Chain A
Amino acid sequence: QSVLTQPPSVSGAPGQRVTISCTGSSSDIGAGYDVHWYQQFPGTAPKLLVYANNNRPSGVPDRFSGSKSGTSASLAITGLQAEDEADYYCQSYDSSLSGHYVFGTGTKVTVL
């Protein structure tokens, strides 16, 4: 079963911009399926951060933005804040296996 590849960790100082990549293949992101992003704090359930590549649910700060190109997607955090320190996961759909949803490997964001 396929999985989307993310860097294990990224870090930045407060106020900086960091990006998290999500690399897939021609059967998932490259096939045109939407990419979604989730934020998870230790001991809590994930929370939807960006949906359908570049849309934010109500209440999510506009310093979070998503993009997609080819077989990859990215999440950018601009104006990094201490409260953004968390794990981030991308998610899409894999057409090579019927009905299969796939998550990224996850990225830990550390605010220096």
Chain B
Amino acid sequence: QVQLVESGGGVVQPGRSLRLSCAASGFTFSVYPMHWVRQAPGKGLEWVAITSSDGDTKYYADSVKGRFTISRDNSKNTLSLQMNSLRADDTAIYYCARVSQAGSDIDYWGQGTLVTVSS
């Protein structure tokens, strides 16, 4: 069955960096675009970034552009999010999510990893 398992979250000081990973299994990872979506405590969902299936095309939300980098290693079935210059408002649960092949919906989500930016 499809599994997406995020890791790498934790507590980090403002201005520092953190790298999140998402291990995918149960499907052919290399043919699916993948998202990162976040959710601040008690708040709604916010789209963060998307990468094409081959990793060549990437788009970012304005709130993270220039600070975050999405990448993937199709040989290792892994999605990553490099987060630099972290701010307090980046505090959130970060979800790895798969785009369905039929359209633009997200058909599978990971369980999420919590990132807390605090001094």
Q: Which positions in A face B, CB cutoff 8 Å? A: 1, 33-34, 36, 38, 40, 44-48, 51-52, 57, 89, 91-93, 97-106
Contact = CB atoms under 8 A, between A and B. Distances in A.
Among B44, B102, B105, B112, residue most surrounded by chain A Cβ atoms (within 10 Å): B105
B106 A91 contact: yes
Interface residues of B, number: 26
B72 interface: no
A101 B104 contact: yes
Interface stretch (B8-16, B17-25, B57-65, B78-86): B57-65
Contacts of B50: 99, 101
A76 B102 CA distance: 23
A98 B47 contact: no
A105 B46 CA distance: 9
Contacts of B46: 103
A36 B45 contact: no
Given A1-B63, A34-B103, A52-B105, A102 B44 contact: no
B45 A103 contact: yes
A72 B116 CA distance: 35
Contacts of B55: none
Given A98-B59, A100-B59, A52 B103 contact: yes
A89 B44 CA distance: 8
Nearest to B35: A101
A51 B47 contact: no
Contacts of B57: 99
Given A1-B61, A52-B102, 17 more contacts: A1-B62, A1-B63, A36-B105, A40-B45, A44-B111, A45-B110, A45-B111, A45-B112, A47-B109, A97-B62, A98-B59, A99-B59, A100-B59, A101-B50, A103-B47, A104-B44, A106-B45
Nearest to B95: A45
